[in-house]
Structure 1
Amino acid sequence: MICLSQFALGRAPPMAKPSVFRAEHPMALDLSPNPISHGAASSSRRRDLVFVVNPRGASGRTGKEWKKLLPYLRSRLSVDCNICESLTSGPSHAIDITREAIKEGADAVIAVGGDGTLHEVVNGFFSAGKLVTNHNRESAHSTALGLIPLGTGSDFARTFGWRNDPYEAVERIAKGVRSWVDVGVINGETGEPHYFINVADLHLSAKAGYYASRYKRFGNLCYVIGALQAFMGHRNQDLRVKVSSCLYIFV
C-alpha cells in the first residue's frame, strides 16, 4: 500500500453527501498509530480496510471480477481486518467515499478498478487544499492508499512493476507493507485542483485519453480508437514550460 506525499496544493471542491459503507464488522474508532515501514503491519489490532469498487468499470467487468475475488479476499484478510465494501454509483462518488472513510479512521482505502477509479480515490484524500484527516485529532494514525487493478487500464500498477493480477494485490494488502509516492496537482482556469499520482498528459496524449474514455465498452481497444481519433486533424502547438527558474520551449 502507498502513503501520499503532497508536493503542490490548491483549493478543492466542496464535499458532497457522505457515503454509506457495507461493513462485515463495525469500523474500529480506536486506532493506534501505524508507522510506515517495509515490514508487515502490526497484528496487535484489526485493521479497517475500505474497498471502493466501481462496478460499472470496464463495461461491467470490474463488478463481475470483484464478486469472484471477494471470497478469496475475505479468506485472506477477514481474520485480521474489518472489510468494508462501498460501491460507487457515478462520477466523483469515489471521492466522497474516500473522504468519509479517512475521517472515520480507515487504515487504508483501496481502489478496486482502473486508473479512473484510482484517480478519484486519490482526490478523495484531499479537501480544501489539505490532506483529509481522522476525526480523532489526537490520533497519529494515517490512512494509506491501496489498489486492486480490475479496470480497463492499469498503468499505475505497471509503473510500480506490479502484474495486473488482483490476487497478487490482495497478498500485498495482507502484508500491510507501505511505501511513499508523490502527488502532483494541476490547477485549472477556475483554480479547482486535480490531484494525480501517475501521469499528467498535455495536448495530443491528453486528447487521445479523452477520446478513449468514450469507448471503454470496447476494452483495451478503446486506447487504439482514442489515439486514431486524436491524430485526425491534429496540429502541433508550441509549448512554454517553466520549472522553477528554468524555461523550456517545445516546438
Structure 2
Amino acid sequence: MQTKIIVNPMANKGNCGKRWPQICAELEKHLGPLASAHVAMTRAPNHATHLAREAVDAGYRRLVSVGGDGTFSEMMNGVIADDRPIASDLVLAQLPGGTSNELSRSFGQLSLTEASKAIAMGHTRDIDVFRADAKGYAGGQVTRYGFVLAIVGAAATISWRAQRVPLLKRLGPISYVLMTAFTSLTYSPRPYRIQIDDEAEQHVPMWSLMLCSFDGAGEGLMLAPGADPADRKLDLIMVGDMGRWESLTRIVPNLADGSYLEHAKVSRRHASRITIDSDDMIRADVDGESIGQLPMSVTMLPFHLKVAAVNRS
C-alpha cells in the first residue's frame, strides 16, 4: 500500500518539525526507507487538507499525519467530499507529534514506536465522522468534518482565545490553563435554542455545550469518559446555567478526570443530530479549530473511516 506522510512542522510549538528526523528514523524502522516524494510538509493552516486530496488523486491509499489532532483533522477533511470518502479503501494514521494526540492516546499508541508499529502491521479500527455546518466569521456557511469533538460557548471561547494570541500559542497547554481561568471569571451563560434529533426545540441557558466522539480531548481532558468513537453517536454534554465562580471551582478543576459530569447542572446523553442557535454571538469549534459562530448543526455521518491501530486482541 502506497503511503503518504503529511508532516506539520509547526505542531506542538514547532517541536514536531525539530523532531522530524527522529520521527522519520523510527517510522523507517517499520516501513522501510521513505522516498522524499512520499513525504510532504505543510506550509500553512489547512494545507494538510489539500495535500491529502492530492495524495489520494495520485493513488495513495494510506495517509499518515505527523502532528496533533488538528493536523489529522485537516488531513481527514481532504479525503471526504459530499459527506462520503473520496475512495473506499483508505487507511488513515496518526503519528503523535502535536499538543493534543487524542486518537493515539485513545488507541494506546502514544509512543512513536507503538504508532509506527500500528501503521506497519496493517490492523485498523473504525472511527466515526461528523459534519458541522456553522456561520463563518465572514458571514457565509462553513462546513467542517470532525472526529473528536464540536464545542460551543465558553469551551469554544477558551480555544479561540488561546490560539489567537501568538505569545500564548507558544506557551502550548499553559495557554489553555490561563485562558480557562480568565474565561471562567468573565463568561456568563447564554440563551440557546437547541434541537436534538427529532425532539422538540429546547430554550435553555448554558455555559457551554460539547459534542464528543472520543472520551478525551486537548491536553489531558477527560470530557466524556467511556465514549465510543465508533458507535455512530455523539455524547452530548450540556453545562448549564453556571455562575462564574461556580464554573471556575466546580467545573474546570474536574475536567481532567470527568468528575465534572457529577455536577447537578451538567447533563449527558447520546445524539446523532443537533442544531444549536442563539440570539447572541457564540463561537463554534471543531477538533480544536474555531470555525465560526452559531447557528451550527452537527450530524453524525453514516460511514466509518479506517485508522491504523495496534491489534490488542
TM-score by length of 1: 0.71
Q: Whole-Å Cα distance in 1 between the matches of residues 59 and 183 of structure 2?
A: 43
> Where do 1:87-98 residues align within 5 Å?
87-98=41-52
- Alignment match, 2:79: 125
Q: How far has the Cα of 1:184 moved from its partner?
A: 0.6
- Establish whether residue 176 from structure 1 lines up as the match of residue 126 from structure 2: no
- The total of aligned residue pairs comes to 197
- Alignment match, 1:167: 113
Structure 2 residue corresponding to 1:187, chosen from 106, 129, 133: 133
Q: Secondary structure at the match of 2:60?
A: coil
8 Å contact kept, 2:28–2:34:
no
> Where do 1:202-213 residues align within 5 Å?
202-213=152-163
Q: How far has the Cα of 1:246 moved from its partner?
A: 1.5
Structure 2 residue corresponding to 1:228, chosen from 181, 184, 192: 181
- Alignment match, 1:237: 190
Q: Secondary structure at the match of 2:152?
A: coil
- Alignment match, 2:287: none
RMSD (Å), alpha carbons = 2.3
The verdict on how the C-alpha distance between 1:176 and 1:199 changes in structure 2, with shifts beyond 3 A counting, is same
- Establish whether residue 115 from structure 1 lines up as the match of residue 69 from structure 2: yes
The verdict on how the C-alpha distance between 1:163 and 1:128 changes in structure 2, with shifts beyond 3 A counting, is closer
> Where do 1:36-75 residues align within 5 Å?
47-75=1-29
Q: Whole-Å Cα distance in 1 between the matches of residues 102 and 110 of structure 2?
A: 9
Q: How far has the Cα of 1:62 moved from its partner?
A: 0.5
Q: Whole-Å Cα distance in 1 between the matches of residues 126 and 36 of structure 2?
A: 24
The one-letter amino acid of 1:239's match is Y
Determine which structure has the larger strand proportion and give its number: 2
Q: Secondary structure at the match of 2:59?
A: coil
Of the two structures, which has the highest relative contact order with CA contacts closer than 8 Å and spacing of 6 or more? 1
Q: Whole-Å Cα distance in 2 between the matches of residues 104 and 90 of structure 1?
A: 21
The structure 1 segments of at least 4 consecutive aligned residues displaced by more than 6 Å after TM superposition are 79-83
The verdict on how the C-alpha distance between 1:82 and 1:66 changes in structure 2, with shifts beyond 3 A counting, is closer
The one-letter amino acid of 1:183's match is V
Q: How far has the Cα of 1:83 moved from its partner?
A: 7.8
The verdict on how the C-alpha distance between 1:250 and 1:176 changes in structure 2, with shifts beyond 3 A counting, is farther
Q: Whole-Å Cα distance in 2 between the matches of residues 164 and 129 of structure 1?
A: 29
The one-letter amino acid of 2:161's match is Y
